[in-house]
Amino acid sequence: MSLLSVSGLEKKFGGVTAIAGLDFKVDPEIIFAIIGPNGAGKTTLFNLLTSIYTPTAGTVTFDGHDLTRLKPFQIAKLGITRTFQNLQIFLNMTVLQNVMVGCHLRSRCGIFEAAFRLPSVLKEEKRVREMAMEALEFCGMQDIANRDASSLPYGVLKKLEVARALAAKPRMLLMDEPAAGLNDTETVSMSKLIRDITSSGVTVLLVEHNMGLVMDVSDRVLVLNYGELLSEGTPQEIQCDPRVIAAYLGE
């Protein structure tokens, strides 16, 4: 039984077709990579899956729920979170606060309880702090919890986005180019992190240009070209597929 299924998904911007009738399914607890040349529609696909864009046609189903009419925060509620290609860190907060926002769905305190700081608030704050620390530890960032996010280098912020997304305890995590801009050491630690995430029971959807990383960690790979599905299979199958080789190397 697949966790995510996409059928006939299409997105047009004016006259330009960014995604053209895409069908695929993702099984639970695997790493599913989406690759393709620049402009193939990978990020657009992520934006469709998370309702940042509304599809022109087609449906996305996650665990039996139709996602196409939901707002992004409702999709997060169903258990899908994501990271972003160009960082979307809350630079006005500390590392810990960033991750505490990630715990938003796992806590309940409303604005009136907060305003009067009722005892329940204090208890929940403590719990949220623990949950956030747990996510930071998972990513090996517990030591910089109290640093201002704005003072950290790019590579660390990339990881922070992952920690924040994980703090929500998602069932599926969408990672948009997690290794872009990272050096070799950081990339190795990122691919280890991605594996750890899946081992903890989270399905990972991965958009990435670093083929070494993709072929190394992925269970399934989908190749997009001009918004269409070019090929789908295991990393080995994809590497041998002449259509993929042609698209990447040019005919």
Partner 1 sequence: MKRLAGFYILAAVLIATGLIFPDSYYVTVVGVTICTNAVLAVSLNLLMGYAGQISLGHAAFFGLGAYASAVLTTKYGTNPWLAMLAGVGISGTLAFVLARPILKLKGHYLAMATLGMGIIIHIFFVQADWITGGPDGLSGIPEISIAGLAINNDIRWYWVFGGLMLFTTWISLNIVDSRPGRALAAVHGSEVAAQMTGVDTASVKAQIFVVSAVIASVAGSLFAHQQAFVSPESFSFFFSIELVTMVVLGGLASTFGAIFGAVLLSILPEFLLVFEDFEVLIYGAILMIIMIFLPEGLFVSGSRIVTGWLKKRELSTQ
Partner 2 sequence: MTDQLFQFLISGITVGSVYALVGLGFTIIYNASDVVNFAQGEFVMIGAMSAIFLYRAGVPYPFALAAAVIITMAVGMLLEKLAIEPAKNASVVTTIIITIGASIFLRGAALLIWGKDIYGLPPFTKDVPISIGNATLLPQNLYVMGGTALSVLAVRYFFDKTITGKAILACSCNRKAASLVGINVNRMLLIAYGISALLGAIAGILVTPITYTSYDSGVMLGLKGFCAAILGGMGSSMGAVAGGLLLGVIESLGAGIISSGYKDAIAFVVILAVLFIRPSGLLGSADAERV
Question: Would you tell me which residues interact with partner 2 (CB under 8 A)?
Answer: 43, 47, 52, 84-86, 88
Pick one of partner 2, partner 1, none as the site partner of residue 86 (Cβ within 5 to 8 A by kind). Answer: partner 2
- Shortest distance in whole angstroms from residue 108 CB to partner 1: 8
**Exactly one of 12, 56, 90, 129 binds partner 1 (CB under 8 A); which one?**
90
SS3 235: helix
Q: Which is nearer to partner 1, 117 or 243 (CB)?
A: 117
What burial class does residue 38 get, using C-beta atoms within 10 Å of its C-beta: 0-12 exposed, 13-18 middle, 19+ buried?
exposed
Name the amino acid, one letter, at 133. M
Q: What is the CA radius of gyration of the chain?
A: 19
Name the amino acid, one letter, at 195. R
Q: Which is nearer to partner 1, 93 or 156 (CB)?
A: 93
Pick one of partner 1, partner 2, none as the site partner of residue 140 (Cβ within 5 to 8 A by kind). Answer: none
Regarding 129 and contact with partner 1 (CB under 8 A), the answer is: no
- Shortest distance in whole angstroms from residue 46 CB to partner 2: 9
**Exactly one of 15, 16, 38, 111 binds partner 1 (CB under 8 A); which one?**
111
Binding mask 146-165 for partner 1 (x = CB under 8 A): ------------------xx
Is residue 190 a contact partner of residue 210, using CB atoms and an 8 Å limit? no
What burial class does residue 240 get, using C-beta atoms within 10 Å of its C-beta: 0-12 exposed, 13-18 middle, 19+ buried?
exposed
Sole residue written with tokens 């009722």: 118
Is residue 144 a contact partner of residue 156, using CB atoms and an 8 Å limit? yes
Instruction: Choose the binding region for partner 1 from 75-83, 140-148, 191-199, 202-210 (rule: CB under 8 A).
Output: 75-83
CA neighbor of 75 nearest in space, from 85, 56, 62? 62
CB atoms within 10 A of CB 69: 9
The footprint of partner 1 (CB under 8 A) covers 50, 52, 71-73, 75-77, 81-82, 84, 88-93, 97, 100-102, 104-105, 107-111, 114-117, 121, 124-125, 128, 164-165, 167-168
